[in-house]
Amino acid sequence: MRIQRLHPDFGAEIHGIGLIDAASDAGAFAQVRAAFEEYSVLVWRDQPITDDVQAVFSRGFGPLELVKVGSAGHGTFYSRMSNIGPDGKIVPPSDKALLIARANQLWHTDSSFKKVPAVASVLSARVIPEQGGETEFTSTRAAWERLRPSEQAQLRDAVAIHSYATSRNQIDPTMMTPEEHASLPPVRRRLTWCNPVNGRRSLYLASHAGGIEGMGEREGAELLAYLMAHATEPAHTYAHSWKPGDVVMWDNRATMHRGKPWGPAQLRSIVRTTISATEEHGVRDVLPELWDQRAAA
Ligand code: OGA
Ligand code: MN
């Protein structure tokens, strides 16, 4: 396996081991797994990707999430983000897929609002516009390491409130269905997450985060805005320009990402599989409910 660095902070393009190799050979998988823990964003080009290949590869990292209610692919492993209608043409301007694409243009980490957060996402390009539609990443591990020690001490054990509604309301307060509202109550998440493999801590932030426990509404929102701006300074981001056949995998514990716009007449179809965080990924670190139980026991 050969690694090509993508940014001084994070990111690696992988050569010599493809998704099928990693899915079928334990030694190859171990190398990819180590690169994932180290570099946070992995890129492959020219993969013979199918839904099955993507799911089997992803499953090596942990249990797969089922797509939530209200999203295309609900109840399956495959989150389908596409502006292509059943007739092969672009969906009408009123289609919810276009609002979802806009919401994906807010800096976020996937599934921070779910009862069980996600350790990683694997995204494959199926149909890609000629121009635009990049996905931009930043390392929240590097962002944490750039903070002053006094800031780190203040933030390390803080708890943020994450809710899907917080990010959707920034786009269109009517875009969530009643089923989405009912199934996605706000959750408490520690503001930092420590990777148990290398002991490195990251800020755990997203546009889904709306407040900080124990702070006033305005004070909490201001702190989150400061940290989001700190984490996403342009010098610290990497934008992936997609080609069909590309696969990008990222660590939701240690990165944020956002989509970039593309021309309204251009077709784009991508498929994401998402891996739930378990004890092995240090999930306990971000779930204050589990600390409370341990303290009470
Ligand atoms: C995602 C996502 C952004 C994009 O797949 O989780 O946020 O560029 N995608 O489509
Ligand atoms: Mn996303």
Q: Is 256 in the pocket of ligand 1 (CB under 6 A)?
A: no
Q: Is 257 in the pocket of ligand 1 (CB under 6 A)?
A: yes
Average pLDDT on 70-92 reads 97
Look up residue 132 and give its DSSP letter. B
Tell me: the pLDDT tens digits for 241-293?
A: 999 999 999 999 999 999 999 999 999 999 999 999 999 999 999 999 988 66
For residue 109, the enclosing domain spans: 2-290
CA of 151 to the centre of ligand 1 (A): 30
Q: How many domains does the chain have?
A: 1
pLDDT at 295 > cutoff 80? no
Residue 177 domain-assigned (yes or no): yes
Closest CA to 35 of 16, 49, 48, 56: 16
Block residue for tokens 């909490």: 220
Tell me: the pLDDT tens digits for 119-151?
A: 999 999 999 999 999 999 999 999 999 999 999
CA of 159 to the centre of ligand 2 (A): 22
The pLDDT mean for the chain works out to: 97
Residue 296 domain-assigned (yes or no): no
Q: Which protein residue has the closest C-alpha to ligand 1 atom 2?
A: 104
Ligand 1 atom nearest to 257, measured from its CA: 7
| Token couple for 91 | 């969906």
Residue 297 domain-assigned (yes or no): no
Classify residue 146 as exposed, middle or buried by CB count within 10 Å of its CB (0-12, 13-18, 19+): middle
Q: How many CB atoms lie within 10 A of CB 136?
A: 17
Residue 192 domain-assigned (yes or no): yes
Name the band, by pLDDT with cuts 50, 70 and 90, for residue 294: low
3-class SS string, 150-205: HHHHHHCCCEEEECHHHHHCCCCCCCCCHHHHHHCCCEEEECEEECCCCCCEEECC
Ligand 1 site-directed mutation target among 67, 109, 137, 270, most atoms within 8 Å of CB: 270
Residue 295 domain-assigned (yes or no): no
Tell me: the pLDDT tens digits for 173-206?
A: 999 999 999 999 999 999 999 999 999 999 999 9
Name the band, by pLDDT with cuts 50, 70 and 90, for residue 296: low
Q: Is 272 in the pocket of ligand 1 (CB under 6 A)?
A: yes
Q: Is 255 in the pocket of ligand 1 (CB under 6 A)?
A: no
Ligand 1 site-directed mutation target among 122, 136, 272, most atoms within 8 Å of CB: 272
Q: How far apart are the first and last CA of the chain?
A: 46
| Token couple for 77 | 């492993």
- For residues 24 and 32, the answer to whether their CB atoms sit within 8 Å is no
Residue 44 domain-assigned (yes or no): yes
Ligand 1 atom nearest to 101, measured from its CA: 10
Residue 200 domain-assigned (yes or no): yes
CA of 101 to the centre of ligand 2 (A): 10
Ligand 1 atom nearest to 104, measured from its CA: 7
CA of 273 to the centre of ligand 1 (A): 11
> 184-214 burial, b for 16+ CB within 10 Å, e for fewer?
bebbebbbbbbbeeeebbbbbbbbbbbbbee
CA distance 236 to 69: 34
Note the pLDDT of residue 291.
84
Tell me: the pLDDT tens digits for 8-21?
A: 999 999 999 999 99
- For residues 6 and 43, the answer to whether their CB atoms sit within 8 Å is yes
Q: Is 246 in the pocket of ligand 1 (CB under 6 A)?
A: no
Residue 252 domain-assigned (yes or no): yes
Q: Is 252 in the pocket of ligand 1 (CB under 6 A)?
A: no
pTM of the model: 0.97
Give the CATH number for residue 20. Answer: 3.60.130.10
Q: Is 240 in the pocket of ligand 1 (CB under 6 A)?
A: no
Instruction: Compute the radius of gyration of the chain from its Cα atoms.
Output: 19
pLDDT at 297 > cutoff 70? no
